Amino acid sequence: MKNRYNVILKFNFNNIIKNIKYNNITEEDYIVKYRLLATDLDGTLLNDQKEIDVETIEAIHEYRKRGGKVVICSGRSPLSTQWIARTIGLSGEPIIAYNGAILLDADGEIREQSVFPYESLMTFWEICETEGIYAHFYEGDKLLVPEVTKWNEKWIENNIPALEASGGEPQHCQRVREKC
């Protein structure tokens, strides 16, 4: 079943393509009405089988060829998001990952990131432990967990193997790892 956003996205891209093909509009004459398309992955570009259909990929390429920019905005990790972007031919576009916590430039380098102070992280973790609330953390593209659960295993199964990456002081990262 296609979700509403995927249908709308394809409809808009396909209308752009039809307008160009059937009205003999030249590249020079064509102006992209929307200069930037910011899109999510899961439930938007990706269907229930975690695939993007060929028509949508072709429409994205046509949109870019006409001067439009495409930015993937996802709750996924940078590694997972970059892999999907490369797979569908969106290399060279900025990416927003971890729900806006990391911004990657067109070269895949971290331009901005939001990192919690170590003390705040430990306070949060202690509150969660005391209250019996599950919590996990990300360090770059690594998922740090206090225990392996079905959810963690599913995440590992659905994501690309983690890279060794770290943002922060090595001794603080090591303490978080030891806690996990």
pLDDT the model gives residue 162: 39
pLDDT the model gives residue 102: 92
pLDDT the model gives residue 3: 45
- If the chain, 180 residues long, is cut into consecutive pieces of 10 residues, what is the mean pLDDT of each piece? 45 55 54 78 81 83 85 90 88 91 92 89 90 84 77 67 42 54
pLDDT the model gives residue 168: 46
109 and 122 both lie in a single domain? no
Q: Which of 121, 107, 47, 35 is nearest to 78 (CA)?
A: 107
76 and 122 both lie in a single domain? no
pLDDT the model gives residue 18: 55
CATH number of 84's domain: 3.40.50.1000
pLDDT the model gives residue 41: 87
Of 67, 87, 113, the last residue of a domain is: 113
39 and 98 both lie in a single domain? yes
Regarding pTM above 0.85, the answer is no
Of 95, 113, 131, the last residue of a domain is: 113
83 and 132 both lie in a single domain? no
128 and 175 both lie in a single domain? yes
pLDDT the model gives residue 171: 53
pLDDT the model gives residue 7: 44
Domain interval for residue 122: 118-179
66 and 155 both lie in a single domain? no
90 and 18 both lie in a single domain? yes
pLDDT the model gives residue 22: 54
Of 113, 144, 166, the last residue of a domain is: 113
pLDDT the model gives residue 30: 54
Both tokens of residue 162? 């983690």
Q: Which of 39, 109, 107 is nearest to 72 (CA)?
A: 39
25 and 100 both lie in a single domain? yes
pLDDT the model gives residue 97: 93
pLDDT the model gives residue 88: 87
pLDDT the model gives residue 52: 83
pLDDT the model gives residue 109: 92
128 and 98 both lie in a single domain? no
